[in-house]
Amino acid sequence: MVEDESSLAETIKLNLELEGYAVQIAKDGKSALRHFKGERFNLILLDVMLPEMDGFTVCESIRLENPSIPILFLTAKNSSADRVAGLRIGADDYLTKPFNLEELLLRVQNLLKRSMKQDENGAGVTTYDIGDDVINFNRLEVVRKKGDNIRLTKKEAMLLKLLIDRKNEVVSREHILETVWGYDIYPSTRTIDNFIVSFRKYFEKDPSNPQYFQSVRGVGYKFVDA
């Protein structure tokens, strides 16, 4: 992170570290470039207004050496001319101060996820651990510690993913129909209940007393997990 205002820099650093990232701070443009030459980074947070050398110049310089490392600009100005200038010289994203901390974290996450994918073996494996079992959405199957694996159908996988994405939130039957079935004709909401029955058979120790797939009377279901 390149940011000259100490208190802001520390706040951001702290929050990023809470998310599990390792952060280094540079307080001006030239120092930023020295850091960049000496070490390997996965993402750069770059303030535009900097002493010694402004953010645009830093960005241009970095891009000469590394055209793919994600660069996220932070700036007080919010003119589109300014943003265009940033994007032109190779910024990947742009956030205006004052910004919502959660938004920053999400955008950082986004950029890293993306650049990881391209570096690693390409396959973005989407799996979820539930008890002793692992749901693998790429293989459409559940790998169980004991017992045979379970093959998931497409609809099962979609509904499962939706509930897990909304972990700990109530998802209404209407929303499920819209999201999972949306593109053609809706079946009756009973159908959803039947899928839940299967999920409970697959994953619950005691299906009649569910821990993961809880009913919310009159609304829908929620997936609960630590």
Partner DNA sequence: GCAGAAATGACAGGAAACTGACAATGGAAT
Partner DNA sequence: ATTCCATTGTCAGTTTCCTGTCATTTCTGC
Rounded CA-CA distance 48/29 in Å is: 9
d(CA 2, CA 214): 46
- Selected from 155, 169, 174, 225, the binder of DNA by CB under 7 A is 155
Q: Which residues bind a second copy (CB under 8 A)?
A: 29-30, 33-34, 36-37, 53, 57, 60-61, 63-65, 67-68, 80-81, 83-84, 87-89, 92-93, 99-100, 102-103, 106-107, 110, 114-115, 117-118, 121-124, 126, 138-140, 153-155, 158, 161-162, 165-166, 168-170, 175, 178-180, 182-183, 216-219, 222
Distance CA 20, CA 137 (A): 25
Task: Kindly tell me which residue out of 64, 121, 217, 226 binds DNA, with binding defined by CB under 7 A.
Answer: 217
CA distance 3 to 51: 10
Residue 69 · residue 44 · CB < 8 Å: yes
Pick the binder of DNA from 156, 164, 175, 224 (CB under 7 A): 156
Q: Does 218 bind DNA (CB under 7 A)?
A: yes
The distance of closest approach from Cβ of residue 159 to DNA in the complex, given in angstroms and rounded to an integer, is 9
Residue 37 contacts DNA per CB under 7 A: no
Q: How many helices (H) and strands (E) would you count in the chain?
A: 8, 10
Query: Which residues lie below 8 Å from residue 185, measured CB to CB, with a gap of 6+?
Result: none
Q: Which amino acid is at 71?
A: I
Residues binding DNA (CB under 7 A)? 151, 153-156, 181, 187-188, 190-191, 193-197, 200-201, 207-208, 210, 215-220
